[in-house]
A and B are shown apart, each in its own frame.
Chain A
Amino acid sequence: MKKLAIGLYGVLTVTLMIWAWYQAIYVAPNDAMQGEIFRIIYYHVPSAMVAFLFFAISLVGSIGYLASRRSHADRAQIFDAWALAGAEVGVVFCTVVLVTGPIWGRRAWGIWWTWDARLTTTLVLWLIYVSYLLLRRFAAGPQVQTLAAVLGIFGALDVPIVYMSNRWWRTQHPAPVFGGAPGSGMDKSMLPAFGWNVLAWLAWGIFILILRYHVERKSQKLAAQDAEAALYGVSSI
């Protein structure tokens, strides 16, 4: 039953991805000013939205871990697995943002990169979460999860700064399309393609987030079994 549900969700996600791609390439019109490169927005912005959401999941997981690590050890491990999954999948989506943005910028501005507020804060966000993952991967000892949770919380503080950066400061990055100044927004003919891509990337993101969570939970259980086997002098290797 569980396998069937995962399979159905996978099929639904792939169908949604194909439909969203079709909408972005064949249905949405070219932008009057930018031409075809505007279509990069259908991958760039949804990826940023999903990255922010997953960093928020990592924040909740980190707070939950810190709150429950002494009183409910099992629950703390679940929180920790969500925190790690959210951070890692968030980094994947943030990488997409940092790669597709400069590709668009090279055609639109004539440069790959500039140190404006939106770009710099996004790079800082990515670096914080990459540090989080490196800490989880290479540090050892009983405090690693606690230190990672604290870093995860500090990393999430950068998310609202990234979001507000092109509202607070005059930046080279385009002004906010949604929720910006009066008159901002997207042409109605482009909205369906944008909406489908948000939905498709969200579905894809949730799919790999859940997969990553299960891999981490399995890893925790194997580590616990390993520790138990070592305690009783049984070789598990």
Chain B
Amino acid sequence: MDPRAILDHEFMVAAYVATWVIQLSYLAWLGLKWRAQKRREARMSRNLR
């Protein structure tokens, strides 16, 4: 296979992987924030009772 085509393919894969890493990392951070809020809410309602 043409070495230029191999390099093109590797750069394309790098761009696609980088996109998904950024998007899924943000989603994971959002999920953690959501879970922390749920716990805080439960703690607050327990203490207010």
Contact = CB atoms under 8 A, between A and B. Distances in A.
Interface in B1-49: 4-5, 7-9, 11-12, 14-16, 18-19, 22-23, 26-27, 30, 33-34, 37, 40-41, 43-44, 47-48
A89 B29 CA distance: 12
A127 to B, nearest CB: 17
Given A43-B16, A100-B19, A36 B8 contact: yes
B5 A92 contact: no
A96 B47 contact: no
Contacts of B43: 236-237
A100 B16 CA distance: 8
B12 A92 contact: no
23 contacts: A35-B5, A39-B12, A40-B11, A40-B15, A40-B16, A89-B26, A92-B22, A92-B26, A96-B18, A96-B22, A96-B23, A103-B14, A104-B15, A106-B11, A107-B8, A107-B11, A215-B33, A218-B34, A225-B44, A226-B44, A236-B47, A236-B48, A237-B43
Nearest to B4: A35
Nearest to A101: B15
A218 B41 contact: yes
Q: Which 5 A-B pairs have the closest CB atoms?
A: A36-B8, A103-B15, A100-B15, A40-B15, A236-B44
Nearest to B9: A36
B40 A103 contact: no
Contacts of B15: 40, 43-44, 99-100, 103-104
Given A35-B8, A106-B11, A107-B11, 19 more contacts: A35-B4, A36-B5, A36-B9, A36-B12, A43-B15, A47-B19, A89-B26, A99-B18, A208-B23, A215-B33, A215-B37, A218-B37, A218-B41, A222-B37, A229-B44, A229-B48, A236-B43, A236-B44, A237-B47
A47 B27 CA distance: 16
Interface of A: 21, 34-37, 39-40, 43-44, 47, 89, 92, 95-96, 99-100, 103-104, 106-107, 204, 208, 211-212, 215, 218-219, 222, 225-226, 229, 234-237
A39 B5 CA distance: 13
Nearest to A208: B27
A2 to B, nearest CB: 15
Nearest to A92: B26
Nearest to B34: A215
A197 to B, nearest CB: 11
A236 B33 CA distance: 19
B5 A219 contact: no
Contacts of B44: 222, 225-226, 229, 236
